[in-house]
Chain A
Amino acid sequence: MASRARRVVPQTDQHGHTGVVETDTATWSPARVAELYEIGNTWLHRAHPLTKLAAVLPLSVAGFAGDTVLVPAIILAAAVLTLVVSRLGIIALKSLRLMAPMTFALVVIHGIVRPYDSEPLVAWGPISVNAGGLALAGTTAARIAVFVIAVTAAMATVHPKIFATALIQRGVSHKLAYAYLAGAELIPEMRLRATQILEAQQSRGFDTKGSLPRRLRTLFALLKPLLVSSLIGVEMRTLALESRGFSLPGRRTAAVAVRERGRLLQRSLLLASIPLLVLAVIW
């Protein structure tokens, strides 16, 4: 699938911040810059990365207020609406797509499998659907969805590198920041590695398409070389990182300096979580 990617060049902006900036959205296929990141220049993109991260906590806590689906559903609807109005509907879509399998599992577990005292809404032999179970499944799914949409919106509107830089500038260990960056690249990395192995296997006459048993056989044939090559890759990457000064003591800098702002707002958002937590507990 073709996807948009950023082209970056080093520049100095009007504030004197030197760094790389996005200049176009050339089409790239199939590897993506990062799985989650969406290019844009909306108010959410322009917000400080840590402000967005700080907003996740009160939003998620607020989702637990009340014992019905009402509050999380309102927050969820407001979040979706905000994203759509901000031309970030794709993020809402991604979040809801992410939630779909979990919601289905919750409905099955609470609505069908788990027995409740209430009268079943529908019954097909041994299988019955309970209203109470469905309500619990809906409430739980909505609460999780609030968290998922908040995290997705925060992470999809900041390039991983900028987010990592913001963390390091606030004193977070560069090793932790690396873990985040490597994590963001992990899925495309593994996908590329798997594609290379599959292509190598196909070039040797291994049939990777067809019936389900054949596809399962392909999967097992892929797993071992994928695991082994990943392990070998880890050792080499460790050495490459050492060579790039990963273990050097001292302060880290960044080619892209994230402008320091919004500290008060970030603290306020974190503090707001406390009364919201109290409200969620007592309500």
Chain B
Amino acid sequence: MSGAGLPESASLTASTFASFEEFTFTYDTASEPTLTGLTLGLRADQLTLISGPSGGGKSTLARVVAGFIPRPLGGSFEGTARVLGHDVESAPPHVLTESVGVVFDNPFDQLTAATSTAFDEVAYALENEGLPPDEIVARALEALESVGLAEMTGRHPRRLSGGQSQRLAIACALAQRKPILVLDDPTSQLDPTGREEVVSLVRTLRDAGTTVVLVAQDLGHWLEMADRLVILDEGRVTADGHPATLLTDPRLFDGTILVPRCVAVWADLRRRGIALGDTPPLTTDQLVSSVRNLGREREPTP
């Protein structure tokens, strides 16, 4: 599939916050590398969507960006990886975690398990930063309000729904004023309501200019808001570019990624000789609009 889009240059430009040069990473417990010769640059102020088959290295890439690799997770690597100007190999563990917020796929295991209210959960991170009590309270409340949990400050984290827990995890990162947010398949374990809550929040964050690195197997909800789509397979970048451009390549439809239904319909119609435009619709609404336009074009003029 190489050639669907060339991997971006890894040179550190003003807007690139993370760069990988021939980066190969192997977990201590694995015999094969999870990331292999990765060369990639991630730009700030964008929503970068990372997808690909299971075991392709998506979550590992997210963990490198988040500052969890090589410490505390451990592993060996070759090449270089720099995040926010820091070499991940030599940077102290807290340097990156101070700037990068993370939300994992499991809504409950990512809570600290040491707090008894949503407010405490958000405040915990700020207490670790040594902020004055007044500022902790103000920031925690502001963050909870911004993710729509203002009414849940006193609720036990375990009593929140999956979607609310994910929003709580995002609130923790927002309260810490982290400029970069890494979301590792944040909706994979949520019901439709929870998924919609998180998608809506991420859209708001993206519109506000937050830098987001989003790992997702199912692209359905994210394509529309993604500035860039990176496909990882067997630890390598196999496609990289704007989603609308990238998804015109039929080689991506071989099961490597879960293609959204609207894109699949567009591709199917295209194969049957019905063109709904040069680029695929990224939402159902866009698909419906394209079909309507096609209908109008084909209507006989009176």
A241 sits at the interface (CB 8 A): yes
Contact partners of B73 in chain A: CB under 8 A? 239
CB pair B97–A8 under 8 Å, yes or no, is no
**Interface range for A:** 35 or more
Q: Does A232 contact B (CB under 8 A)?
A: yes
Q: Is A7 an interface residue (CB 8 A)?
A: yes
Q: Is the CB of B156 within 8 A of A28?
A: yes
Of all A-B residue pairs in the complex, the 3 with the closest CB atoms, nearest first, are: A245-B128, A181-B114, A244-B125
Tell whether B16 is near chain A: CB-to-CB under 8 Å: no
B128 near A246 (CB under 8 angstroms)?
yes
Question: Are A10 and B98 closer than 8 Å at their CB atoms?
Answer: no
Query: Roughly how many angstroms separate A164 CA and B116 CA in the complex, as a whole number?
Result: 13
Cβ-defined partner of A185 (8 Å) among B102, B116, B119, B129: B116
User: A8–B115 Cα gap in the complex (Å)?
Assistant: 12
Question: Mind listing 8 A-B residue pairs with CB under 8 Å?
Answer: A8-B153, A18-B134, A237-B112, A240-B109, A241-B112, A242-B68, A244-B172, A257-B133
CB distance from B215 to the nearest CB of A (A): 14
Interface residues of A in 17-34 (CB under 8 A from B): 17-20, 23, 28, 31, 33-34
Give chain B residues whose Cβ lies under 8 Å from the Cβ of A10. 119, 137, 140-141, 153
A237 touches B128 (CB 8 A): no
A18-B134, A238-B72, A239-B68 given. 6 additional CB < 8 A pairs? A6-B154, A31-B156, A239-B102, A240-B109, A243-B173, A244-B172
Inter-subunit contact A161/B94 (CB<8 Å): no
Q: In the complex, which residue of chain B has the Cβ closest to the Cβ of A7?
A: B154
CB distance from A87 to the nearest CB of B (A): 23
B181 smallest CB distance to A (angstroms): 11
* Nearest neighbor of B104 in chain A, beta-carbon distance: A236
The contact size tier of chain B is: 35 or more
A281 CB–B CB distance under 8 Å: no
Q: Does A247 contact B (CB under 8 A)?
A: yes
Task: Count contacts between A and B, CB distance < 8 Å.
Answer: 153
Q: Is A2 an interface residue (CB 8 A)?
A: no
Chain A residues whose CB sits within 8 angstroms of the CB of B100 once the complex forms: 243
In the complex, what distance in Å separates the CA atom of A188 from the CA atom of B108? 13
Of the candidates A192, A237, A252, the one whose C-beta lies within 8 Å of that of B110 is A237
Decide yes or no whether B132 CB sits under 8 A from chain A.
Answer: yes
Return chain A residues, CB-CB under 8 Å to B294: none
Interchain CA distance A254-B222 in the complex, whole Å: 37
* Interfacial chain A residues near B104, Cβ < 8 Å: 236, 239-240
B24 interface hit (Cβ, 8 Å): no
**B56 at the A interface (CB under 8 A):** no
The answer to whether residues A243 and B116 also contact, given A6-B154, A28-B159 and a CB cut-off of 8 A, is no
Pick the most buried of B93, B119, B128: most chain A CB atoms within 10 A of its CB.
Answer: B128
User: Complex Cα distance A6/B114, Å?
Assistant: 16
Bound complex: CA of A55 vs CA of B126, how far in Å? 32
List, in ascending order, chain B residues with CB within 8 A of A233's CB. Answer: 106, 108-109
Contact of B196 with A by CB under 8 A: no
- On chain A, the residues within 8 Å of B141 by CB distance are 10
A242-261 Cβ-contact flags toward B at 8 Å (1 or 0): 11111111111111110000
